[in-house]
Structure 1
Amino acid sequence: MPQGEDFWNPYRWVPVSKEKLTHEKPAYRHRWQGLSGRLDCTLEALTPFLIGSSKEPGRFIRSGLTNQPFIPGTSLKGLIRSLAELIGNAAIPFPNGRADPGHTLNNAATGSGTEWRLDIAARMFGYHNRGQVFAGLVRFTDGVLQDNKVKEIGPFTVVVGQPRPDSHKPFYPDEWRRKFYHHHVGAQKLVPAPSRITQTRTVRPLPPGTRFTFQVHFENLREEELDLLLYCLVLEENVTVTLSTAALGPDAQEPVTLTGPLRHKFGGCKPQGGGSVQITIDRMTLYADRADRYRGQATPPRIVEGEELKSELQRRTQAIAARQDDTMRHLRAMLIDSPDDPRRPIEYPSYDWFNDATKSSKPLKPTL
């Protein structure tokens, strides 16, 4: 939100760590080292939800086999990887992506041959750069719709486009940050395009309450890698965030304290209130020594669910949940899903606003 204005820009910025990236030798699948297993997960839409189709613009992507909406596993992987990069202090995976000098793709790996080392996100999710390839140790299946009778809602006419780093610098403070979008808590429809904005598109998302199930398969993970994966999936159920008067609107007289869970923002129409989702892990399957099956000594896997699963998730995520560094504090301020959040109305300003130098040159208010 620009200083002195009464609207909230749909996204804010979370600072990345300025500590040097750490690298470790990757664990290859054939060595059967570390932790292997499967996570059975559910994703539920909390606001209108859209994973766009390239064949039918504005509609949810559908399976060529069933003609039912589905979530590509690559989309789920991208959602979780981007969080793992931020929380785990790792490089981005794209050669031309927007990042500070410390987190570009070239920083994901060091050394060569037997001295080759990768950062934590590259080890978990994969690495590809200049002919060097590592497949990664975490794989996501497609998300399967749980109610084939669910119907799209809308149509909604929403704004097309967003500010650009080159021409709207106040909305892009510097490269040492990552973009996150505000939740529109309880939204049942998308924010329509204001009449003063003519560049629009029509979309038909799925309604809140829509559920998908998917699986996450992992192999040979270190303890800290599995802990990071679990945190990025389930986040935190109860956090407290205090917003300073500087971070609030021009009429704020005192700080505001929010409590609530952290939730993901995912898919299209995030600026218009879409894409708030909750991911839960319903069951965790941990495999015993994978080599035992070739020795004729196969040990049944350990199935963790119910209260035992709840305790295991809490134990494995508590170290990250206890962090109070700038990255985690600002991340919580953006992912908190609280009905008492005063940061609204959430909308893009008009094109005339951007063309007015006295307005568009105003710096953004801080996230906290």
Structure 2
Amino acid sequence: MTLEEKIAELKVGDKIKFEGQEYIVINRKRNKLDLKAGTLSRKISVEELIEKLKNLAKVEEVSQEEIAKIVGSEEEKEDPNRKTYKNYPYNFVFLGDKNKVERKPYSDSIGNNSGKLICSLVNKTPIFTNGKTKKIDVKDERNGKTYKHSLEDFLEDNGKYLVTSSSLKGEIRNIIEIITNSCIKNVESEKLNRKDFYTPLELVPEEFRPCKNIENLCFACRMFGSTGDQKSVEDENISCIGKVYFTDATIDKKKAKIVADYVPLKALGTPHPTFTRFYLKDRGSYKKEGSTIRGRKFYWHHRDKINGNENSLNSIRMKGKNESDKRKKFNASLKFLKPDNKFEFEVSFKNLTDEELGVLIYSLELEDNLLHKFGKAKAFGFGSSKITIEKFLLDSKDKYRSFTKTYDEGNKEKYLKIAKDKYLDENRKEIRELKAILNIVNDLDFSNSPFPDINWFSKNKDVYLAEILEKVK
């Protein structure tokens, strides 16, 4: 690789070492680079930089090892003595082996399996999906001020409570992305801070970034469809429809077990990807070359809330002597469903291959003791649910010759075996981590609170989020 080729690849955030200084590229415009080292800034043309580095290297052709000494820096090794913390409501599943990412052209007719899966979803912990919200006035007795507090209803339509099809699809797709080493979606593509050099998406290895066109799609995008790279020219064929379709999961309101009144919960909070000790690999930074996101985000199941009674919610209820103390501006009161409600939904599929169908079946039902998470308040233990395929129906070969026989019963085990043999290898770190965080059995205790107290972070600035299978130190 020539020095010219290496310099041509330089981008914002990369490092350059020459003349006794290590510079960071803070801007690049065609043939000119803006560099910075501490308070020292300078502009330099690509030609001038190449000439300086050639003189330094003494040769025009240099090896990768020699270039690494001049351009860029070695990735900082993880500190074996770092302090770690694990009892947090979420963690990240390893992205996977970037050398085993397989992308292929899209085809909507390559598989021979079409039909539908009739499924049930039973929530093992309280569950809540956002419906109507109304604001009420609450007076603070201490200062006399009045503020608005949110009362949130469970989502309903036509006399039924529902978990949306998009929520179901998103959860199942997340599972499939891990199992099949697919790309990762919904990573922020804008800088979180104007002083950052990189966006979160730029810290995703290139092999796992979202698919851009239908000639080069990962397993999940071939199955669920892709919007492609929206910045591409208009005449490029960059998007494709999916081959799997979900209905909403519904339950008749008259049959549902729901709390009698709105329950005031503690403030839920929001994601904080700027908290690099948790969101990025050890010592990562949005300013540092070689930094990488930790993986795909999942929430732990709370053992104390699985099929638990009302007392299991004490750790997340807002405390107060009366309702005005419990209902604040910063929290909300929810009317959620109690455990053990049975929702029903269907998954239709068209032209899936045997392995695609097997992966879909596995990702829906999972294994014993493994549960999904749906809805709001996952950090509080809500939404842990078990999906069961009640009926597996394949389009009948006589579908267009008979008015009575539309479907044939399918054999789940046949397709599951194909998926498990190819994708569920326990030697894969991401598979072990996925099964661990989806398991109702874990060594975490959220019975007091899902989050550390407010002073924990300021007192533990040198503590990192432990990996899912890591023993804390």
Relative to the length of structure 2, the TM-score reads 0.61
Is 1:325 the counterpart of 2:428 in the alignment? yes
CA distance in 1, matches of 2:334, 2:402: 54
Cα distance change of structure 1 residues 300 and 59 upon mapping to structure 2, 3 Å threshold: closer
The equivalent residue for 1:275 is 383
CA distance in 2, matches of 1:334, 1:27: 33
CA distance in 1, matches of 2:340, 2:125: 8
Q: How does 1:1-368 map to 2 (within 5 A)?
A: 3=83, 8-20=87-99, 21-28=101-108, 31=109, 33-53=111-131, 55=133, 58-63=152-157, 65-66=158-159, 68-94=160-186, 96=188, 98-99=200-201, 100-102=204-206, 103-105=208-210, 108-110=211-213, 116-129=215-228, 130=230, 132-146=238-252, 148-153=254-259, 155-162=263-270, 164-166=272-274, 168-174=275-281, 175-185=293-303, 186=306, 187-189=308-310, 190=313, 191-192=315-316, 199-237=330-368, 261-288=369-396, 293=400, 296=401, 300-304=406-410, 309=412, 311-312=413-414, 314-319=416-421, 320-338=423-441, 341-345=442-446, 347-354=450-457, 356=458, 358-368=459-469
CA distance in 2, matches of 1:202, 1:161: 14
CA distance in 1, matches of 2:435, 2:188: 28
Q: Which has the higher contact order (CA 8 A, sep 6+)?
A: 1
Q: Deviations over 1:125-164 (max 9, x none)?
A: 1110326221110000111205633242251412221451
Identity of aligned residues (%): 26
Q: 3-state SS of the aligned residue for 1:127?
A: coil
CA distance in 2, matches of 1:80, 1:225: 13
Cα distance change of structure 1 residues 50 and 360 upon mapping to structure 2, 3 Å threshold: farther
Q: 3-state SS of the aligned residue for 1:271?
A: helix
Further displaced range: 68-77 or 154-163: 154-163
Deviation of 1:92 after TM superposition, in Å, equals 2.9
The CA RMSD over aligned residues, in Å, is 2.9
Q: Deviations over 1:256-277 (max 9, x none)?
A: xxxxx21112211111111100
The equivalent residue for 2:47 is none
Cα distance change of structure 1 residues 104 and 117 upon mapping to structure 2, 3 Å threshold: closer
Deviation of 1:101 after TM superposition, in Å, equals 3.0
Unaligned runs of 5+ in 2: 1-81, 135-150, 190-199, 282-292, 321-325
Cα distance change of structure 1 residues 188 and 321 upon mapping to structure 2, 3 Å threshold: farther
Unaligned runs of 5+ in 1: 238-260
Amino acid at match of 1:181: Y
Amino acid at match of 1:318: K
Kept in 1, the 8 Å contact 2:357–2:415? The answer is: no
CA distance in 2, matches of 1:171, 1:125: 30
Q: Deviations over 1:320-360 (max 9, x none)?
A: 4443310011111111112xx33113521233323x1x413
Further displaced range: 190-199 or 262-271: 190-199
Deviation of 1:283 after TM superposition, in Å, equals 0.7
Kept in 2, the 8 Å contact 1:109–1:119? The answer is: no
Deviation of 1:314 after TM superposition, in Å, equals 4.6
Q: Which has the larger radius of gyration?
A: 2
Q: Deviations over 1:87-128 (max 9, x none)?
A: 2111234474655133222xx145x7xxx2321111111110
Amino acid at match of 1:45: N
CA distance in 2, matches of 1:92, 1:349: 29
Relative to the length of structure 1, the TM-score reads 0.78
Q: Deviations over 1:61-96 (max 9, x none)?
A: 111x33x21121111111111111122111234474
Kept in 1, the 8 Å contact 2:358–2:416? The answer is: no
Kept in 2, the 8 Å contact 1:125–1:137? The answer is: yes
Q: 3-state SS of the aligned residue for 1:360?
A: coil
Amino acid at match of 2:96: S
Kept in 2, the 8 Å contact 1:16–1:86? The answer is: yes
CA distance in 2, matches of 1:4, 1:327: 20
Amino acid at match of 2:334: V
Aligned residues: 321
Q: 3-state SS of the aligned residue for 2:121?
A: strand
Q: 3-state SS of the aligned residue for 1:117?
A: coil
Kept in 1, the 8 Å contact 2:132–2:154? The answer is: no
Cα distance change of structure 1 residues 163 and 96 upon mapping to structure 2, 3 Å threshold: closer
Amino acid at match of 2:125: T
Kept in 1, the 8 Å contact 2:178–2:431? The answer is: no
Cα distance change of structure 1 residues 40 and 22 upon mapping to structure 2, 3 Å threshold: same
Q: 3-state SS of the aligned residue for 1:43?
A: strand
